[in-house]
């Protein structure tokens, strides 16, 4: 009898112990699932910020914020997606809200200044940049400072900032293109040409730099296309750019020749070039 009671007590004692172990195991499992879910969401956020369609990314982050409107990482994701979708007014609103929060960082302020520049709101962009401590010395900071100085025609400061920004990144083609365009607007075609060529050494596919390079050469009355990598369609477009530049500068015969060449080179009917040529010949 005593042995039966002892066995019964021992068996009874195993029930709460087993339940406790199950509770610990369940808690660990829930934690593991939560961690995996967090990683999955972080990965999905990264995908939305890089390779996803900008409009889809905007919808994704807006929907995520309806579930948890307090998460600043989702707000930052929404702001970046709005910029990618060229919705600068909405991005400005979100970033202004972020910058006003206690969680704001200097990177948030730089993002806001960038959006303001994209919206041609130069004075406000400068005011935001002035709130960032001078100890923040990043590529993005100098890139934006260069553009603001450019807008004020403070060429010495702009050149200094462009040069610093160029040396702070392994992909300076964008800032080199901006710097070249700045030189072009100042009438320094030769200086602009060098910078566009340099930009193309980092990204030979950058059509904006190719087009700007043709314009820079045209200001020096050099209408032959530079020796750069280009597709047949790009060649026809660049010939058209050179033709318009020549005509604008009074080199009408050169312009006609280049228009003929652009039309002949184009893999499809080049309506704009054909209209321009017809207008000149008539």
Report the pLDDT value the prediction gives residue 26, as an integer from 0 to 100: 57
Q: Give the pLDDT of residue 7.
A: 43
Whether residue 39 has pLDDT greater than 50: no
> What local confidence, expressed as pLDDT, does residue 53 receive?
82
Instruction: Say yes or no to pLDDT of 18 above 80.
Output: no
Q: What pLDDT score was predicted for residue 41? A: 57
Q: What is the mean pLDDT of residues 38-55?
A: 66
Q: Tell me whether residue 195 is in a domain.
A: no
Residue 8 confidence class, pLDDT cut points 50, 70, 90: very low
Assigned domain for 55 exists: yes
Find the CATH number of the domain harbouring 54. Answer: 1.25.40
Q: Which domain holds residue 102?
A: 44-117
Does residue 138 lie within any of the structural domains? no
Tell me the per-residue pLDDT of 28-38, one tens digit each, with 9 for 90 and over: 444 444 444 44
> Is residue 63 one of the residues assigned to a domain?
yes
Span 215-237, pLDDT tens digits: 999 999 999 999 999 999 999 99
pLDDT digits (tens, 9 = 90+) for 161-179: 999 999 999 999 999 999 9
Total number of domains in the chain: 1
Is 15 within a domain?
no
Q: What's the pLDDT score for residue 57?
A: 87
**Would you state the pLDDT for residue 84?**
93
84: in domain: yes
Provide φ and ψ at 198, rounded to 5°. Answer: -65, -40
**Average per-residue pLDDT for the chain:** 87
Q: Looking at the domain assignment, is residue 80 inside a domain?
A: yes
Residue 61 pLDDT grade (very low, low, confident, very high; cuts 50, 70, 90): confident
Quick check: is 100 in a domain?
Answer: yes
**Can you give the pLDDT at residue 281?**
85
| pLDDT digits 0-9 by tens, 69-116 | 989 999 999 999 999 999 999 999 999 999 999 999 999 999 999 999
List, as one string, the DSSP characters of 105-143: -HHHHHHHHHHHHHTT-HHHHHHHHHTS-TT---HHHHH
Quick: pLDDT tens for 179-201: 999 999 999 999 999 999 999 99
pLDDT in tens, 105-132: 999 999 999 999 999 999 999 999 999 9
């Amino acid at each position: 009898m005593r042995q039966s009671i002892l066995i019964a007590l021992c068996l009874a004692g195993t029930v709460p112990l087993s339940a406790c172990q199950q509770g610990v195991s369940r808690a660990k499992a829930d934690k593991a699932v939560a961690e995996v879910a967090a990683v999955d969401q972080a990965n999905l956020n990264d995908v939305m910020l890089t390779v996803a369609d900008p409009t889809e990314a905007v919808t994704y982050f807006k929907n995520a914020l309806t579930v948890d409107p307090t998460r600043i990482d989702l707000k930052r994701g929404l702001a970046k997606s709005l910029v990618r979708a060229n919705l600068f007014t909405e991005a400005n609103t979100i970033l202004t809200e972020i910058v006003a929060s206690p969680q704001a960082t200097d990177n948030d302020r730089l993002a806001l200044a960038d959006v303001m520049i994209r919206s041609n709101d130069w004075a406000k962009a400068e005011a935001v940049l002035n709130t960032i401590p001078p100890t923040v010395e990043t590529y993005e900071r100098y890139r934006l400072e260069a553009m603001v100085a450019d807008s004020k025609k403070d060429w010495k400061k702009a050149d200094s900032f462009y040069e610093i920004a160029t040396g702070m990144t392994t992909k300076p083609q964008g800032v080199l293109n901006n710097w070249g365009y700045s030189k072009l607007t100042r009438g320094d075609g030769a200086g602009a040409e060098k910078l566009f060529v340099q930009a193309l050494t980092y990204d030979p596919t950058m059509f904006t730099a190719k087009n700007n390079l043709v314009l820079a050469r045209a200001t020096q009355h050099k209408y032959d296309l530079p020796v750069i990598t280009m597709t047949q369609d790009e060649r026809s477009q660049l010939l058209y750019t050179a033709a318009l530049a020549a005509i604008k500068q009074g080199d009408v015969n050169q312009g006609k020749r280049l228009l003929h060449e652009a039309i002949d080179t184009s893999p499809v009917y080049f309506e704009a070039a054909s209209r321009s040529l017809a207008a000149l010949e008539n």
